[in-house]
A and B are shown apart, each in its own frame.
Chain A
Amino acid sequence: MSGKRSLAVEDIRAGYGKKQVVFGVSLSLEPGQIVAILGHNGAGKTTTLKTIAGLLPAQSGVIRLDGVDITRNSCAQRVRHGIVYLPQERSVFAQLSVHDNLLLGGTPNPDRAERQKRLDYVLELFPILGERRSQMAGTLSGGEQRMVAFGIALMASARVLLLDEYSLGLAPSLCQALAGTIKLLVERDGMSVLLVEQNVPLALSLAERVSVMRMGRIVVEETTQQLGEREHLWELF
């Protein structure tokens, strides 16, 4: 499954039972674009991503993929359309081997030949996973686990990648390396990426546009350049 995807999120409300966390968030993601969502802890960034991925139901609002309303679609259906969410923690199947992790990533697309092609592609991007293929994913270093997570997403033929603080706990060099991989996937394969980050400079180096969330709402939405010119960035948090 190839093809670029555009994502539009309109006035989403979501939360966990009593606790409403997202109060009307709207975003858009053009094909082959990287957009970052910034904001303090508890601002609702993860909740927003999970709602887009289908892990949480949207209490109101609309989510569109290439103009098609997918708000009522299940998570499994959205994966088949190419929306893949990578959580900030526990983003791999820790007790299973790297190989099994990647195989599981291929679940939405069981065609054997296709799957092998994608596996080769993943191992080409992350050669170290080849060396570690029979190792249990939970025993890998933080950075390698992230690579496994990316591998899973690629195996699932992701077209829209929702990254939840992928840099968490990663050494700066690794962050940069993975940032390079993300740019490659976007430029070469036309992947669209929605990036939630605490690491502001990293987000600004990757994204073209930035939305800043505060207390469940978007308070600022501008290009990276405009945001970068702000003096007291912390006041937005």
Chain B
Amino acid sequence: MEYQADLANQVLIFAILAFSLNLLLGYAGQVTIGHAAFAGVGGYAAAKLATAAGLGFAPALVAAVLTAAVVGLIVSVPALRLSLEHLILLTLAVSVVFVTLASSTSALGGAYGILNIPNPDLAGKRFDYPSEYFLLFLPLTILAFLIYWRFVESPFGRVLKAIREDELATRALGKNVFVYKMEAFAVASGLAGLAGAMLAFYTMLVAPAQFNVTQSMLIITMVIFGGMGNPTGPVLGAALLVLATPVLEKNLNIAAEKAGLVRMVVYGAALVLVVQLRPQGLIPERFSLMVVPRWLNRWKRPQTAAQSQAIGAAGNSEPSAALSFLDGYHGSSSSAQPGGRGNNDGTVLAVRGLKKRFGGIEAVAGVDFVLPAGRVTGLVGPNGAGKTTVFSLLTGVIPPDEGSVELRGKDVAGKTPDAIAKMGMVRSFQDVRIFARLTALENVMLATFGHPGETFLGLFTKPVAVRAAEREAKERALKWLSFVGLEGKADLLAGSLAFAEQKLVAIARLLATEADVLLLDEPITGIDPQWATRIGEVIHTLRQLGKTVCIVEHNLRALEQVADHCYFMESGRITAEGSLRDLMSEPRLVSAYFGT
């Protein structure tokens, strides 16, 4: 019995390590090979406090969690803007620094570590045997798991996944990506610290070798094998790794010393195979092993587009879906920006003297234009005229050198993308940038501002408000998906949709921000003519919603159908305006457009 309990305890400890790493790696997409080091921070903290300061089990554990969380937070700061390779390098450096520090500091026991950690002593009961430890560890693990679960299968977790898919697009939706990354690191490290402390008390020692890079790699394999991004997968991965040894020993009669090595060989080989055949791990992201209470699990298992075709989804709704939608629409409801439909002169956006220089080239050389409320304005011009740069300047992706951008009278020039998004101006991207491994519905739900479930505090202190906000967000998302005619495909993974449908999801996502000013970058380019008509109709209807739209387009024929008014841009300046037909009747402009 003790033997089984010992195995169970190992599974529990590794499970915590695995699912905490999953939060960072599987959900937020931050590849780190230093996770064991955070466990080490917790383990050493607990060990030191228990031996030197005589701290009891419970306080030592708490101290471990907090210390590890703080260290994780500190490490996250430089990690915020690093590319994948540099992040791996950073976490490697952190790991080596930790191990070296631990093995070289006499106060930390040097290479041998800290020994003779006292047994846990709670309420007079001393914990000695594995079975007794199990009674202690099981509730701890379940608690840790519930905290982790609350983070990942929630609006907060949804944002983490979005960051994993496309950081830039996430920022464009008004999320402060840096804060999320820092919080992910802090929580993941804190939980790892818990596991480290548990290990310390269990084995009664901590040593540097328990927390080095090789151990970190081991935890990574557990997560990958079990299923990245799946909430319960890592637990399976941990269990498989720990239990493989006894299985090999007992069932295959492999000698004890060899069994551990054989399982690693099998594990390593399986890893190479798994990543080739099932890159998402044994358990796909969406599948749930556990019986999950309904109120926690909101999303059914989404199908691929092919499966839903077999069922006969009503995805091919007619364009009039958009128009019939309007009957039920009552304008911006819970939007984040102040009311008002524009300035007195009916313009919503006024740009003056906008300039941007890149090195020696003046990409935007003093641009003035206005966007009238409730109208679709086109921005046309030859290649390299600076049109997309203007969009980037307006939405804060690039700061302008000079000029003002007045959104309903307030100058937003130089503000961050998240701030401008919250003030009511958003843009779409030429290369769409939807979150491929999230459903269409989740993509659109991410466009909510001020969702309490997306914050650390709100998630744990305001469960009722979170549930209400989720319901509202879901309703709003479905509304906008049906506006673009895709409500039948709401539960499909966005990456499995056709390219044109992805463009529609992106538009629905923009609309769900309830922003007034929509900047669309080549919405009709690169798709089939019948889809182009459908998108054109959607854009046409935006007028009736009171949206102010500006479009950069090269597909002139399609643009003519939707634009009320156009600006002509060449070599960084706006040189003419009028209807598209008028502009294209000007010989000088035509030659500028098609080249002199």
| Residue positions of A touching B, CB distance < 8 A | 18-21, 23, 40-42, 167-169, 172, 197-202, 214-216, 232-237
Q: Are the C-beta atoms of B590 and A233 separated by less than 8 Å?
A: yes
Residue in A41, A214, A234 whose beta carbon sits within 8 Å of that of B522 in the complex:
A41
A204 nearest CB neighbor, chain B only: B594
Q: Are B595 and A40 in contact (CB under 8 A)?
A: no
Nearest B-chain residue to A235, judged by Cβ: B557
Task: Verify if B527 is at the interface (C-beta below 8 Å from A).
Answer: yes
B383, B525, B527, B594 — most chain A CB neighbours (10 Å)? B594
Give complex CA distance A19, B595 in Å.
29
Separation of A167 and B594 alpha carbons in the complex (Å)? 12
The answer to whether A169 and B384 have CB atoms under 8 Å apart is yes
A200 with B595: CB separation less than 8 A: yes
Centre residue among A169, A197, A200, A202 by max chain B CB count within 10 A:
A200
Provide the bound-state CA to CA distance between A40 and B526, in Å.
10
CB atoms of B555 and A198 under 8 A apart = no
**Cα distance A168–B383 in the bound complex, in angstroms:** 8
B596 touches A (CB below 8 Å): yes
Question: What's the minimum C-beta distance from A163 to chain B, rounded to whole angstroms?
Answer: 14
Cα A198 to Cα B595 in complex, Å, equals: 7
Distance between B389 CB and nearest chain A CB, rounded to angstroms? 15
- Chain A residues whose CB sits within 8 angstroms of the CB of B595 once the complex forms: 167, 197-202
| Nearest-CB residue, chain B, relative to A44 | B526
A201/B584 contact (C-beta < 8 A), A168-B383, A215-B528 known: no
Query: For residue B522, which residues in chain A have a CB less than 8 angstroms away from its CB?
Result: 41-42
* In the bound complex, CA of A2 to CA of B159 (Å): 60
Distance in angstroms between the alpha carbons of A89 and B263 in the assembled complex: 51
Chain B binding surface, main DSSP class: loop
- Given the known interface contacts A19-B526, A41-B383, A41-B522, the answer about A200 and B555 at a Cβ–Cβ threshold of 8 Å is no
**B532 touches A (CB below 8 Å):** yes
B555–A201 touching, CB < 8 Å: no
Residues of B508-529 contacting chain A, CB below 8 A:
522, 525-529
CA distance A72 to B103 in the complex (A): 59
Decide if A215 touches B529 in the complex (CB within 8 Å): yes
Residues of A contacting B557 in the complex (Cβ-Cβ under 8 angstroms): 214, 235-237
Q: Which residues of B contact A233 (CB under 8 A)?
A: 590, 594
Within 8 A of A (CB), among B67-90: none
A202 to B382, CA, bound (A): 14
Give bound CA distance, A198 to B570, whole Å. 14
CB-CB under 8 A from B529, the residues of chain A are 215
Q: Is the CB of A18 within 8 A of B498?
A: yes
B residues near A234, Cβ cutoff 8 Å: 556, 584, 590, 593-594
Q: CB of B499 within 8 A of chain A?
A: yes
* 16 residue pairs from A and B, CB less than 8 Å apart: A18-B499, A18-B502, A21-B526, A23-B528, A40-B525, A41-B525, A42-B525, A42-B526, A197-B595, A198-B595, A199-B595, A199-B596, A200-B594, A214-B555, A216-B528, A234-B556
Contact partner of B556 (CB less than 8 A), chosen from A20, A167, A201, A237, is: A237
Instruction: Name the one of A21, A201, A216, A237 contacting B596, with C-beta atoms under 8 angstroms.
Output: A201
- A41-B525, A232-B584 known; A215 vs B594 contact (CB < 8 Å): no
Q: Which residue of A lies closest to B555 (CB)?
A: A40
Report the bound CA distance from A174 to B499 in whole Å: 39
B591 at the interface (CB under 8 A from A): yes
In the assembly, what is the distance between CA of A20 and CA of B526, in Å?
Answer: 8
B554 close to chain A: CB less than 8 A:
yes
A169, B363: Cα distance in complex, Å: 13
Q: How far is the CB of A25 from chain B (nearest CB, A)?
A: 14
Q: Sort A-B residue pairs by CB-CB distance and give the 10 closest, nearest first.
A: A199-B595, A42-B525, A200-B594, A41-B554, A40-B554, A42-B526, A234-B584, A19-B499, A237-B556, A234-B556
- The distance in angstroms between the C-alpha atoms of A42 and B529, with both chains bound, is 13
Question: Who on chain A is nearest to B383 by CB?
Answer: A198
**Which residue in chain B gives the minimum CB-CB distance to A165?**
B383
Interface residues on B, range: 20 to 34
In chain B, what residue has the closest Cβ to A236? Answer: B557
Q: Report whether B590 and A168 are in contact in the complex, using a CB–CB cutoff of 8 Å.
A: no
Of B384, B495, B522, B557, most A-chain CB atoms within 10 Å: B557
Name which residue of chain A comes closest to B596, CB basis: A172
Q: B526-542 vs A: 1/0 string, CB under 8 Å?
A: 11110010000000000
Cα–Cα, bound, A83→B269 (Å):
43
Could you tell me the distance between the alpha carbons of A199 and B596 in the complex, rounded to whole angstroms?
7
Looking at B384, B528, B595, the one whose CB has the most chain A CB atoms below 10 A away is B595
* CA distance in complex: A23, B593 (Å): 26
A214 to B558, CA, bound (A): 11
Residues of A contacting B591 in the complex (Cβ-Cβ under 8 angstroms): 201
Q: Are the C-beta atoms of B384 and A215 separated by less than 8 Å?
A: no
A residues in contact with B502, CB < 8 Å: 18
Question: Separation in Å of the B257 CB from the closest CB of chain A?
Answer: 48
Quick one: closest A residue to B522, CB to CB?
Answer: A42
Smallest CB–CB gap between A40 and chain B, Å?
A: 4
Given A168-B384, A172-B596, A198-B594, the answer on whether A42 and B528 have CB atoms closer than 8 Å is no
- A168 to B591 Cα, complex, angstroms: 15
Q: How far is the CB of A35 from chain B (nearest CB, A)?
A: 18
> Assuming the A-B contacts A19-B499, A201-B591, are A235 and B556 also in contact, with contact meaning beta carbons closer than 8 angstroms in the complex?
yes
Per the bound structure, the CA–CA distance linking A167 and B383 in Å amounts to 11
Q: How far is the CA of A214 from the CA of B532 in the complex (A)?
A: 12
Q: Is the CB of A198 within 8 A of B382?
A: yes
Tell me how far the C-beta of B520 lies from the nearest C-beta in chain A, rounded to whole angstroms.
14
Q: What is the chain B residue whose CB lies nearest that of A215?
A: B529
Q: Are B554 and A237 in contact (CB under 8 A)?
A: yes
Given contacts A18-B499, A40-B556, A201 and B594 within 8 Å (CB-CB): yes
- List 10 additional A-B contacts (Cβ < 8 Å) besides A18-B495, A41-B522, A41-B525: A18-B498, A18-B499, A23-B528, A40-B555, A41-B383, A199-B595, A201-B594, A201-B596, A214-B557, A236-B557
**For the complex, what is the distance from the CA of A197 to the CA of B595, rounded to whole Å?**
10
Contacts of A214 in B (CB 8 A): 555, 557
Q: Are B499 and A20 in contact (CB under 8 A)?
A: yes
The CA of A214 and the CA of B499, in the complex, are separated in Å by: 17
- Distance between A90 CB and nearest chain B CB, rounded to angstroms: 15
> A202: nearest residue on chain B (CB-CB)?
B595
Report the separation of the CA atoms of residues A221 and B522 in the bound assembly, to the nearest whole angstrom. Answer: 26
Chain A residues contacting B555 (CB-CB under 8 Å) are 40, 42, 214-215, 237
- B525 to chain A: which residues have CB within 8 Å? 40-42
Shortest distance in angstroms between A164's beta carbon and chain B's nearest beta carbon? Answer: 12
* Cα separation A163 to B336 with both chains bound (whole Å): 50
For the complex, what is the distance from the CA of A167 to the CA of B591, rounded to whole Å?
Answer: 15
Residues on B with C-beta less than 8 A from A167 are: 595
User: Could you tell me the distance between the alpha carbons of A235 and B590 in the complex, rounded to whole angstroms?
Assistant: 12
Give the docked Cα–Cα distance between A197 and B593 (Å): 12
Shortest distance between the CB of B51 and any CB in chain A (Å): 57
CB contacts (< 8 Å) of A168 on chain B: these are: 383-384
Pick from A197, A200, A215, A236: contact of B527, CB under 8 Å? A215
Q: Which residues, 448 to 469 on B, are CB-close (under 8 Å) to A?
A: none
Q: Min CB distance, A33 to chain B, in Å? A: 22
A20 to chain B: which residues have CB within 8 Å?
Answer: 499
B270 vs chain A, min Cβ distance (A): 28
- In the assembled complex, which residues on chain A have CB atoms less than 8 Å from the CB atom of B499? 18-20
Residue on B nearest A47 in the bound complex, by CB: B526
A198 to B593, CA, bound (A): 8
